[in-house]
C-alpha cells in the first residue's frame, strides 16, 4: 500500500497457504498489490485449509478475496479439512465466516482445481524449482502432507515462511492458534526444515514488536480509499473492536517474505513442540527463527497416471492391493494372494505399495521385486511409499534378518523397477479407477493409508474394504504395543478415526497368537515340505525368524487369508476403537466392544484354526497338481 515498499525478489513465484480469515485476506492482498505495483513475486496459487473457518468456507473466502482484487486468474487448490490427529475448535475471531459476517453469498460456484493442495505444492515446487516462495499462515497441515509425500519438497523451494507459534515464556505460556490447530503438522515441518530454507515468524514477536495502535489501523491505513482497503475494513469489523493494538500475524509474515529488510534481527533456534502433553525427544530441530524487532509500522502495513496391467474399467473381478513392509511374513502374504488368484480364480492383485517397517524401505522395495520374480508375476506394479513414520519413526526390526528376507544373499537378474508414481497417490488413483471394487490390505505400518486419507478424505469411502493386520486386544497377556501399530502410532490413529465398520476390518496380532499358533514342526515338515519353488524360497525368508521362536505365528498371511476366504473367520466383534498416541501407553490399543451402530471398526476376533491350515496347504500346494507343471517335468 505504501510507495516506499519494494520487492527484493522480483523473479520469484509465490504460493500462500492459508485458512481463510481476515488476516489471511490482508496477507493475500498485500502480495497481489506488491506484485502489481512493485514488481514483486508472482502469486501463482492459493492453497487452503481448515483453521479460522472450515475448509469449504476457506475456499469461498479465497474466491471472494480474488474477486475484490480482480485476480480470478489465480488458481485455488483445496487442502486439509482437519488436523493429522486432533485440532482445537476455531475461536471465530474474525466472525463465523472469517470475513466479518456480512452475509456474503458467492455469485456462482467457486472454481476449485482438481489437484489437492499438497500435490499442487509439490508440482509447483518442481515447476519453479529454486524460485518458489511458500508463505504458510494457517495450520501447517498442507505443508506437512507435501513433506511426507515428497521428502525433497522443502529443498526445492526458494524459501518457506511459517507464521506460527510463540517463543514460550511467562508472557506467552499457551499454544499459539496456528500451531495448536495441528501440532503434529508443525512437528513434521520442523523435522524436515533446514535453516537456509525455513523461516518461522512467531506470533509472540509480532505482538512484541508491532504495537500498532488500533486508531492508526482505522484512521490512517483504513482511510485509504480503494476497493481493496474498503473490503479489508469490512473483513476485520468483528475483530477490531476486541483489541487495543493491531498486530496481525499473517500480513506481517507476508511482508517479511516480500521485503526481508524490515527484519532487524534473525536468530537461529533449536526448535521443538510438545505434542498432546508429550515432548518429542527423538531429535531437536534447527530452524531459522525470525524475530522482527523495531520494524517501521508503516512498512509492514505497506507490504495417475496409474498402471492398470491391461485391465479394463468394466472388469468386475475384485481387485486388491497389499501395502507391506516386506519381511518374511509379508512375502508369504503376497505369495498367498498371487497363488489364490492363479489357481482358485481369486481377486486380482493389481499393485504392491511399500513402507518402512520390518526393514528400511529401500530393502522393502527390493524384497517386493524379489517376491514378484520368484512368483513369476513381474506384471504387478510396485509403488514406493513412506520411508519414515508421520511423526516419530521407531527403529526398524531385524526379526526376519537385516534385509527382511532371511539374509540369504541371493540376487536376481532382470528385476522390474518401481513405478514413478508414489504409493500414496497410487492408492488414491486406484481407489478411483476401481471404485467400490478395490480392497486394500495393509500388513505393515499404516503410514501410506493414513496419508491417502489426509490427502483425499473420500479415499476410504471408495474402497470395497480395508483390512488391517495390526495391534493387540490389550490384556495382561498382551500388555505391550504390537509392532505394526507401534511403527506409526499417529497413522494408526488417523485411519481408525476415519473408519466405519462396513469399510474397515482389523485382525489383531493377539488373535493370531490365540487362534493361529502352530508348531514349528508343522511349519517345517508339513507346509515347509511342499515341493515348490515358492515354498523353498519362503523357507529361506523365514529361517532367521523361526530360529527365534517356539511356534509359528504369522499375522500377515493370515490377514490376507481372511480377505480371500472370509468364511475362515469364526467370530467378528464390533469395536469403538482407537490407540493411545501419548504417554506410557503409546501404541496400546483401546477396544470397547459395542453394537455395530456404535462402532468404528469390525474386528476379526476368532479364526478357524484347522480350516486355515488346510487353506494354506491347498493354496501353496496347488502348483503340484497343475498339469502345466507335469508337462515341464
pLDDT tens sequence across 308-320: 343 444 478 999 9
Q: Are residues 285 and 334 in the same domain?
A: no
Q: Are residues 235 and 354 in the same domain?
A: no
pLDDT of residue 598: 97
Span 125-137, average pLDDT: 97
* CATH number of 589's domain: 3.90.245.10
User: Is residue 413, in this structure, part of any structural domain at all?
Assistant: yes
Q: Are residues 269 and 355 in the same domain?
A: no
pLDDT of residue 23: 97
Residue at which a domain ends, from 301, 329, 356? 301
452 has pLDDT over 50: yes
User: Is residue 375, in this structure, part of any structural domain at all?
Assistant: yes
296 has pLDDT over 70: no
The per-residue pLDDT of the chain, averaged, comes to: 90
Question: Residue 588 corresponds to which cell in the numbers above?
Answer: 496400546
Span 218-228, average pLDDT: 96
Q: Predicted confidence band at 369 (pLDDT cuts at 50, 70, 90)?
A: very high
Is 400 within 8 Å of 539 (Cβ atoms)?
A: no
Domain range for 363: 319-632
Which residue would you say has higher pLDDT here, 123 or 261? 123
Question: Residue 458 corresponds to which cell in the numbers above?
Answer: 473420500
Span 371-389, average pLDDT: 97
pLDDT of residue 629: 66
pLDDT of residue 168: 85
DSSP 310-351: T--TT--S-EEEEEE--SHHHHHHHHHHHHHHHHH---EEEE
Strand-by-strand arrangement of the 438-442 sheet: 382-383, 348-354, 319-324, 438-442, 465-469, 504-507, 601-607, 569-579, 589-593
User: Is residue 370, in this structure, part of any structural domain at all?
Assistant: yes
Residue 622 DSSP one-character state: G
Q: Are residues 44 and 187 in the same domain?
A: yes
Neighbours of 461 (CB within 10 A): 13
Percentage of the residues of the chain whose pLDDT score is greater than 90 = 81
8 has pLDDT over 90: no
pLDDT of residue 323: 98
Residue at which a domain ends, from 301, 334, 351? 301
Is 388 within 8 Å of 445 (Cβ atoms)?
A: no
Q: Are residues 292 and 331 in the same domain?
A: no
Q: Predicted confidence band at 284 (pLDDT cuts at 50, 70, 90)?
A: very low
287 has pLDDT over 60: no
pLDDT of residue 200: 94
Q: Are residues 56 and 27 in the same domain?
A: yes
What are the tens digits of pLDDT across the range 559-588?
999 999 999 999 999 999 999 999 999 999
Is 147 within 8 Å of 116 (Cβ atoms)?
A: no
Q: Predicted confidence band at 381 (pLDDT cuts at 50, 70, 90)?
A: very high
What are the tens digits of pLDDT across the range 18-56?
999 999 999 999 999 999 999 999 999 999 999 999 999
10 has pLDDT over 50: no
User: Is residue 311, in this structure, part of any structural domain at all?
Assistant: no
Handedness of CA 597, 601, 606, 608 (dihedral sign): positive
Residue 436 DSSP one-character state: T
Q: Are residues 231 and 293 in the same domain?
A: yes
Q: Are residues 273 and 219 in the same domain?
A: yes
Q: Are residues 284 and 409 in the same domain?
A: no
Q: Are residues 175 and 34 in the same domain?
A: yes
Q: Are residues 401 and 525 in the same domain?
A: yes
User: Is residue 309, in this structure, part of any structural domain at all?
Assistant: no
Q: Predicted confidence band at 268 (pLDDT cuts at 50, 70, 90)?
A: confident
Q: Are residues 216 and 326 in the same domain?
A: no
What are the tens digits of pLDDT across the range 583-616?
999 999 999 999 999 999 999 999 999 999 999 9
Span 140-148, average pLDDT: 97
Is 134 within 8 Å of 270 (Cβ atoms)?
A: no
Cα 620 to Cα 301: distance, rounded to the nearest angstrom: 71
User: Is residue 269, in this structure, part of any structural domain at all?
Assistant: yes
pLDDT of residue 239: 93
pLDDT of residue 292: 37
User: Is residue 152, in this structure, part of any structural domain at all?
Assistant: yes
Span 325-353, average pLDDT: 97
What are the tens digits of pLDDT across the range 486-542?
999 999 999 999 999 999 999 999 999 999 999 999 999 999 999 999 999 999 999
Residue at which a domain ends, from 274, 301, 328? 301
User: Is residue 314, in this structure, part of any structural domain at all?
Assistant: no
Q: What is the number of domains present in the chain? A: 2
276 has pLDDT over 70: no
pLDDT of residue 289: 39
pLDDT of residue 279: 46
Amino acid at each position: 500500500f505504501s510507495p516506499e515498499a519494494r520487492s527484493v525478489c522480483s523473479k520469484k513465484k509465490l504460493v500462500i497457504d492459508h485458512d481463510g480469515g481476515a488476516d489471511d485476506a490482508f496477507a493475500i492482498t498485500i502480495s497481489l498489490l506488491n506484485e502489481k505495483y512493485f514488481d514483486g513475486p508472482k502469486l501463482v496459487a492459493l492453497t487452503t485449509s481448515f483453521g479460522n473457518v472450515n475448509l469449504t468456507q476457506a475456499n469461498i473466502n479465497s474466491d471472494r478475496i480474488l474477486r475484490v482484487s480482480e485476480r480470478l486468474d489465480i488458481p485455488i487448490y483445496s487442502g486439509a479439512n482437519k488436523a493429522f490427529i486432533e485440532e482445537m475448535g476455531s475461536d471465530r475471531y474474525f466472525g463465523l465466516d472469517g470475513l466479518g459476517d456480512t452475509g456474503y453469498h458467492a455469485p456462482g460456484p467457486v472454481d476449485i482445481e482438481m489437484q489437492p493442495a499438497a500435490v499442487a505444492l509439490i508440482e509447483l515446487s518442481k515447476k519453479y524449482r529454486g524460485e518458489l516462495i511458500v508463505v504458510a499462515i494457517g495450520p501447517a497441515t498442507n505443508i506437512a502432507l507435501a513433506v511426507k509425500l515428497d521428502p525433497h519438497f522443502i529443498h526445492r523451494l526458494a524459501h518457506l515462511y511459517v507464521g506460527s507459534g510463540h517463543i514460550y515464556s511467562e508472557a506467552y505460556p499457551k499454544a499459539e492458534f496456528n500451531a495448536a490447530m495441528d501440532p503434529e503438522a508443525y512437528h513434521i515441518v520442523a523435522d524436515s526444515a533446514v535453516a537456509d530454507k525455513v523461516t518461522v515468524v512467531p506470533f509472540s514477536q509480532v505482538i512484541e514488536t508491532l504495537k500498532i495502535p488500533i486508531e492508526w489501523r482505522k484512521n490512517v491505513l483504513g482511510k485509504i480509499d480503494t476497493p481493496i482497503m474498503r473490503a479489508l475494513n469490512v473483513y476485520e469489523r468483528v475483530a477490531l473492536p476486541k483489541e487495543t493494538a493491531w498486530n496481525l500475524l499473517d500480513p506481517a509474515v507476508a511482508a517479511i517474505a516480500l521485503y526481508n529488510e524490515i527484519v532487524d534481527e534473525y536468530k537461529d533456534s533449536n526448535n521443538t513442540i510438545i505434542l498432546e502433553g508429550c515432548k518429542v525427544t527423538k531429535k531437536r530441530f534447527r530452524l531459522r527463527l525470525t524475530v522482527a524487532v523495531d520494524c517501521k509500522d508503516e512498512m509492514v502495513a505497506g507490504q495417475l497416471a496409474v498402471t492398470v496391467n491391461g485391465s479394463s474399467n468394466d472388469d468386475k473381478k475384485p481387485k486388491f492391493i497389499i501395502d507391506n513392509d516386506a519381511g518374511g511374513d509379508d512375502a508369504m502374504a503376497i505369495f498367498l494372494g498371487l497363488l489364490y488368484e492363479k489357481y482358485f480364480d481369486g481377486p486380482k492383485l493389481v499393485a504392491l505399495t511399500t513402507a518402512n517397517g520390518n526393514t528400511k524401505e529401500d530393502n522393502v522395495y527390493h524384497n517386493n521385486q524379489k517376491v514378484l520374480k520368484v512368483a513369476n508375476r513381474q506384471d504387478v506394479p510396485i509403488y514406493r511409499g513412506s520411508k519414515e513414520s508421520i511423526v516419530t519413526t521407531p527403529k526398524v526390526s531385524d526379526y526376519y534378518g537385516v534385509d527382511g528376507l532371511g539374509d540369504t544373499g541371493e540376487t536376481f537378474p532382470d528385476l522390474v523397477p518401481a513405478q514413478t508414481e508414489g504409493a500414496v497417490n497410487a492408492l488414491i488413483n486406484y481407489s478411483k479407477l476401481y471404485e467400490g471394487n478395490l480392497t486394500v490390505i495393509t500388513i505393515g505400518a499404516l503410514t501410506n493409508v493414513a496419508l491417502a486419507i489426509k490427502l483425499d478424505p473420500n479415499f476410504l469411502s471408495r474402497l470395497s474394504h480395508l483390512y488391517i493386520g495390526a495391534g493387540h486386544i490389550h490384556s495382561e497377556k498382551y500388555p505391550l504395543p504390537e509392532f505394526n501399530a507401534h511403527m506409526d502410532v499417529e497413522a494408526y490413529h488417523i485411519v481408525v478415526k476415519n473408519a466405519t465398520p462396513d469399510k474397515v476390518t482389523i485382525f489383531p496380532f493377539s488373535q493370531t497368537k490365540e487362534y493361529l499358533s502352530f508348531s514349528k514342526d508343522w511349519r517345517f515338515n508339513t507346509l515347509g515340505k511342499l515341493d515348490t519353488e515358492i515354498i523353498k524360497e519362503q523357507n529361506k525368508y523365514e529361517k532367521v525368524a523361526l530360529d527365534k521362536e517356539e511356534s509359528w505365528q504369522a499375522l500377515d498371511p493370515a490377514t490376507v487369508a481372511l480377505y480371500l476366504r472370509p468364511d475362515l473367520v469364526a467370530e467378528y466383534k464390533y469395536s469403538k476403537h482407537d490407540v493411545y498416541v501419548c504417554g506410557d501407553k503409546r501404541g496400546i490399543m483401546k477396544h470397547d466392544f459395542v453394537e455395530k451402530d456404535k462402532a468404528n471398526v469390525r474386528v476379526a476376533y476368532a479364526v478357524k484354526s484347522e480350516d486355515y491350515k488346510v487353506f494354506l496347504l491347498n493354496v501353496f500346494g496347488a502348483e503340484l497338481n497343475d498339469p502345466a507343471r507335469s508337462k515341464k517335468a
